[in-house]
A and B are shown apart, each in its own frame.
Chain A
Amino acid sequence: MDYNAQKKEIYTRKVLNELDKFTLEFVKILEKFTDYVIVSGYVSILLGRTRASEDVDLLVPEMNFEKFDEIFVELEKNNFECINTSISKDAFSMLDYHSIAFSRAGMPVPHMEFKKIINDIQKEALNGKLKVVLDKDTTNLYISPLELQIAYKLSLISKGDFEEISSDKDFEDAKHLYTYFRDGLNMKKLIYYVNLFKVQEMWKWLQK
């Protein structure tokens, strides 16, 4: 796996697993209509972490109902279904309150958690996104910048002592990304996010 920070690209010839295939299938439809960025646990999994996940978290920019409806219909045509509701107008309204999920019809896992961008950090994830080029597929995947991803994962951990963090998959996801990509990370940027999220204590543990 090669990371080119300047070009904001990661190139991999990985053998695709079921979660990768599901994500590619979904994104191939979505990207005809909108920009997107993948965040959270699946970023670590895509980049080699050895764990599965029931869901893939994906952020999309604000859009009007007409565009959302087009996506909804196209997903249904391609054997995806919205777990929350089969009515696109209801699904669109829900986005103001929480994420909605799409899975392959009849099979609730894995599913795509589809969220609307509502704050500056999420905008930053989209604007600074990295392209993951998969060798055996024509579709690329766009993921959150690694520095943001690592600090964000640390922010999800309970703010307690070492014992409290010691059963946390989020810390482990951050550890994987940090260990593998350490030489290519922009440390200034990473420290900026560590301070922004107030995760200095976790950051110390991450470097050990």
Chain B
Amino acid sequence: MVAKVDPKNIFVDFPVNNDKTRNFRSRIWSIKYWAEFMKLNSDEVWSKGQADLIDSQFIKADEFYKNLVKTEKGREVLKRLNEDRLNKFKTKKELRSLF
């Protein structure tokens, strides 16, 4: 049995000035709703939903990379993606002052 969160109990006191801040308030509302859902339900229940969401993204990524290596053009794209990834590590250097 999955316990439901009463949406009336979820409140976010953020200003809404435009679409961007409206979207942000909605996302923060969803995060609070989800945290409450986690508290009301067993780990098995909430984590099943989380795993479905995360796993589907990795399945798509896996298909994407497998398709790329099939063609010459795809392999070139893959090479560029890998180069971008390596550059990312170098540019993240400035963040190392903390983590």
Q: Say yes or no: is A61 at the interface (Cβ < 8 Å to chain B).
A: no
Q: Say yes or no: is A64 at the interface (Cβ < 8 Å to chain B).
A: no
Q: Which residue of A lies closest to B39 (CB)?
A: A180
Question: B49 to chain A: which residues have CB within 8 Å?
Answer: 50
Q: Flag if B28 contacts A99 (CB, 8 Å).
A: no
Assuming the contacts A18-B58, A172-B31, asked whether A13 and B43 have C-beta atoms less than 8 A apart, the reply is yes
Q: Say yes or no: is A9 at the interface (Cβ < 8 Å to chain B).
A: no
Assuming the contacts A166-B21, A172-B28, asked whether A83 and B82 have C-beta atoms less than 8 A apart, the reply is yes
From B20, B58, B89, contact of A110 by CB (8 A): B58
In the complex, A151→B95 CA distance in Å? 15
Which of B18, B21, B31, B96: most chain A CB closer than 10 A? B31
Question: A48 to chain B: which residues have CB within 8 Å?
Answer: 34-35, 38, 46-47, 50
Q: Flag if A109 contacts B61 (CB, 8 Å).
A: yes
In the complex, A50→B47 CA distance in Å? 9
In the complex, A100→B85 CA distance in Å? 11
Q: Flag if B38 contacts A15 (CB, 8 Å).
A: no
Q: What mask results when residues 1 to 17 of chain B are scored 1 for a CB within 8 Å of chain A, else 0?
A: 00000000000111101
Question: B72 to chain A: which residues have CB within 8 Å?
Answer: none
CB distance from B90 to the nearest CB of A (A): 5
In the complex, A197→B43 CA distance in Å? 33
Assuming the contacts A48-B35, A83-B86, asked whether A17 and B15 have C-beta atoms less than 8 A apart, the reply is no
In the complex, A118→B98 CA distance in Å? 9
Q: Flag if A119 contacts B54 (CB, 8 Å).
A: no
Q: Flag if A152 contacts B35 (CB, 8 Å).
A: no
**Is the contact region of chain B dominated by helix, strand, or loop, or is it mixed?**
helix
Assuming the contacts A172-B28, A172-B31, asked whether A121 and B98 have C-beta atoms less than 8 A apart, the reply is yes
Q: Flag if A107 contacts B82 (CB, 8 Å).
A: no
Q: Flag if B43 contacts A1 (CB, 8 Å).
A: yes
- Residues of A near any B CB (own CB < 8 A): 1, 12-19, 39-40, 45, 48-52, 57, 59, 83-84, 97-101, 107-110, 113, 115, 118-119, 121-122, 125, 135, 144, 152, 155-156, 162-163, 166-167, 172, 175-176, 179-180, 197, 205, 208
**7 A-B residue pairings within 8 Å (CB atoms):** A12-B47, A15-B50, A17-B51, A83-B85, A108-B81, A108-B85, A175-B32
- Residues of B near any A CB (own CB < 8 A): 12-15, 17-18, 20-21, 23-24, 27-28, 31-32, 34-36, 38-39, 42-44, 46-51, 53-55, 57-58, 61-62, 65, 81-82, 85-86, 89-90, 92-93, 95-99
Task: Name the 10 nearest CB pairs between A and B, nearest first.
Answer: A14-B47, A166-B24, A17-B51, A179-B35, A17-B54, A13-B43, A15-B47, A180-B35, A52-B57, A208-B13
